[in-house]
Structure 1
Amino acid sequence: MFPPSLPLPHELLTRPLAARFEDFFDAQVRSRYFKGLEFAGPEGDPGWFGPDSAVWYVHSHFPTLAFGLACASYIEGLDPSIFWMAADHVRFVVRDAEGRPTGQIDPEGAAVRFGHSLSFFIGTAYGSTETAERLARTVRAMHHTVKGTRPDGLPYDADDPEWLRWNYATVVWGIATAHERYHPRPLRGAELDRYYGEFVRVGHALGGTDLPATKAETLDCLHSYLPRLAVTPGKAERTDPNLRGAQTGPLDNPFMDWAIRDTLPRWAARMVMYQRPNPIELRARRSALWTVLNSLHAVTGPLPEFRQAQARVAGGTAVPHTEPAYVLGSDPERTREEVEADA
């Protein structure tokens, strides 16, 4: 039995599911955010991780990857600077008639950001080396333009090493935690730490330094930021019970809000007033989400891009993986308009 508040799109209740999902993904994600990304070639190119990597294994399960990115976005937003970066520079924040951010999220704008996130973490995982490099260059260029001052007078800068470390830790933790809890055959222990260690390449490609490389290091890194974190008005507005009666998207309902907060470290869960239900209800809720995520994956299988990547290296590779080429501080200065024109 699915929880009554868990949305079940019509496509999930009709056949053939695989074809309907592929049509939806092609129209809403691939055609809009995967332009110029190469997965089928060049032959033998392993990309940044290669077919034997933990990253290929984790990211090939699309439903848990997508859920993990939602978890990462949630904990990332506990940094007030993230909230004001979004308010000042990101288009998914609704503005009033005078152009001031309201704190409310525009569903279409949020979908655009999520689509770009999917293309980045799929493309850098098992796309060609040039695809991964191109995606990283674009994100770095965007980060270089995000600078400003919060209303309390504190400056923010998306190139700040401290911010990059926080951002990186939230992403790798979100994806790995969703995988560990909801993948049918999750990596654990040393194998899961191999994922954390491999994923550092993405953080370095975006300019990060001194990044955590194991699960324990990542949890310690996240906890070290506690003194600077807070529940902003935007975060409170999109946390149950404030979501009741104000649903604007598939994640904007009490069940998915619960599922995301249920993955938080204990100290972060207390910040957003999350308390686990009794053990029987907790197991039922987690089992329901496990069933939804894995039923979708079982029917649709890996994305075509992953199968293309597998075919690309079927004849072997010269090296197990390539390395990000970025040298810290080597990007040219560009305006936001120039960056967006090339995105």
Structure 2
Amino acid sequence: MLMPHQIVGQLLNKRFDQDVRQHFFRGMDFAGPQGDPGWFGPGSAVWHVHSHTQALVFGLQCAAYLERLDPSIYWMGVHHSRLVRPDTRTDPAPQIDPKGAAVRLGHSVAFFIGTAYGSTPTAERLALAVRSMHHTVKGVRPDGARYDADDPEWLRWNYATVVWGLATAHELYHPQPLRGTDLDRYYGEFVRVGHALGGTDLPTTKRETLDCLESYLPRLAVTYGTAMATGPNLPMPHSALDWAVRDTMPPWAQRLIQHRNPNIVERSARRAVVWSIINGIHVGSGPLAEFEQAKARVADGVDPDLAPHTEPSYRPGSDPARGRAEVEHAFV
């Protein structure tokens, strides 16, 4: 007889197949070529961290919450993504489109699984797709300030929020979390993804990432999107998830949104509940199929002639110019 967490896991696996894998993993190769380690390969910290799908998805939510404290990145999402209803993109108070938000999450999950476990050509193709989309994201905020997704300062902020969200979710909710220098190894490896997206001068340790994030404080604000996605007005279970997300934020960011932690006993109890939920689902779901395929791909060893562990091949300024319609036709 299946246990309740196994039933839930099977249902979520089926949902993941139908809603994410079938739509957003198209064209990705995880099974071949034999001997290709991709960007990271066996024994890497990235392979360990990203193998826990539920913690990975939670970490992406943590990163999204933190990154939209930058008004420019918030309005980039409003104006250029499917996150909000198209007829409200120019409104000062846009309305979330649930289907569009699901599409955005699906693309994000596919990207961070694909770049971790995909073949080298798969990882390079995914990075090109994201860069090409970023090249089209330029505009003006309602207050008149201009934004550009290729701005190195924006790329650094965006990268730092992502690596912080993923690494902190891993620290708190992975059953075998990396600590200390082992966790810094993850920060150091993951920078390859940031470089592949055009980032420069990126942090490579947990301490550097914390310092990088805090250095942006003078330009941050509580955006409309942040205000609407937090607080006591959220219904359960959203309020519980919201607390867990805010719990991962650096102390200065928590103060910015007036988040107050409970006492250490209650905080530990809350984290234990979230840990049980995330890991119960993880156990019920079983190992990530793409991770298993990647391990089989290098089971006989890494072929040094295929793809040694090097930086991604992208060089800033080398991408061909594409319009948004052409980008979506080619990659989305």
Q: TM-score, normalised by structure 1?
A: 0.91
- Aligned equivalent of 1:283: 268
Q: Structure 2 CA distance, aligned partners of 1:118 and 1:179?
A: 15
In structure 1, how many angstroms separate the alpha carbons of the residues matched to 2:90 and 2:136? 20
CA contact (8 A) 1:231 1:271 kept: yes
Equivalent residue number for residue 168 of structure 1: 159
1:237-283 CA-to-partner distances (Å, cap 9, x unmatched) read 11112424xx8xx7xx1111110001110000011111011222211
Residue of structure 2 equivalent to 1:300: 285
The answer (yes or no) to whether the contact 1:124–1:135 under 8 Å persists in 2 is: yes
Identity of aligned residues (%): 64
Distance 2:186 2:321 in 1: 33
Query: Is the aligned partner of 1:79 residue 2:70?
Result: yes
Classify 1:310/1:275 alpha carbon distance in 2 versus 1 (closer, same or farther; 3 Å): same
Structure 1 residue 18 displacement after superposition: 4.1
* Distance in 2 separating the partners of 1:12 and 1:274: 37
CA offsets, 1:111-153, max 9 Å, x none? 1000000000000011100110000000000000000111222
Superposed CA RMSD = 1.8
> Given that residues 93 and 224 in structure 2 are in contact (C-alpha distance below 8 angstroms), is that contact kept between their aligned partners in structure 1?
no
Choose which of 48, 57, 62 in structure 2 pairs with 1:57: 48
Read off the aligned partner of 2:330 and give its amino acid letter: D
* Counterpart Cα distance in 2 of 1:302 and 1:321: 25
Name the CA shift for 1:34/1:330 in 2 (closer, same or farther; >3 Å). same
Q: Indicate whether 1:329 and 2:317 are aligned.
A: yes
Q: Which runs of 5+ in 1 are unaligned?
A: 1-10
Shift of 1:323: 3.0
Paired residues for 1:252-291 under 5 Å: 253-291=238-276
Q: Distance in 2 between matches of 1:39 and 1:199?
A: 19
Aligned-partner SS, 2:40 = coil
Question: Structure 2: how far apart are the matches of 1:293 and 1:97?
Answer: 34
Distance 2:137 2:77 in 1: 9
For the residue of structure 2 that corresponds to 1:317, the secondary structure is coil
Counterpart check, 1:233 vs 2:209: no
Deviation at 1:96, TM superposition (A): 4.2
Q: What is the distance in 2 between the residues matched to 1:97 and 1:205? A: 33
- Contact 1:49-1:198 within 8 A present in 2 as well: yes
How big is the shift at 1:167? 0.3
Q: How does 1:84-103 map to 2 (within 5 A)?
A: 84-96=75-87, 100=91, 102-103=93-94
8 A Cα contact 2:196 2:312, kept in partner: yes
Q: TM-score, normalised by structure 2?
A: 0.94
The gaps in structure 2 that reach 5 residues or longer are none
Q: Cα distance, 1:159 vs. partner?
A: 0.1
Q: For residue 301 of structure 1, report the CA deviation from its aligned partner.
A: 2.1
Residues 148 and 155 in structure 1, CA contact (< 8 A), matched pair in contact too: yes
Q: Is the 8 A contact 1:46 1:128 kept in 2?
A: yes
Deviations along 1:49-104, one digit per CA (max 9) or x if unpaired, are 01110000000011111111100000000000011111211122125479646322
What residue number does 1:30 align with? 21
Q: Which moved more, 1:201-210 or 1:100-109?
A: 100-109
Q: Look up the match of 1:46.
A: 37
Tell me the CA shift for residue 184 of structure 1: 1.0
Over 3 Å counting, the alpha-carbon distance change for 1:186 and 1:287 in structure 2 is: same
Residue correspondences, number: 327
The one-letter code sitting in structure 2 at the alignment partner of 1:45 is D
Per-residue deviation, residues 301-338 of structure 1 (Å, max 9, x unmatched): 22111100000000000345243110111001000000
Q: Check the 8 A contact 2:29/2:119 in 1, yes or no.
A: yes
1:4 matched residue in structure 2:
none
Structure 2 contact 261–267 (Cα < 8 Å) conserved: yes
Question: 1:141 and 1:14 mapped to 2: Cα distance?
Answer: 40
Whether the 8 Å CA contact 1:40–1:308 is kept in 2: the answer is yes
TM-fit CA distance, 1:290? 0.5
CA displacement at 1:166 relative to structure 2: 0.2
Assess, with a 3 A threshold, how the Cα gap between structure 1 residues 97 and 39 changes in structure 2: closer, same or farther.
closer
Which one is further off, 14-23 or 259-268? 14-23
Partners of 1:72 and 1:118 in 2: CA distance: 13
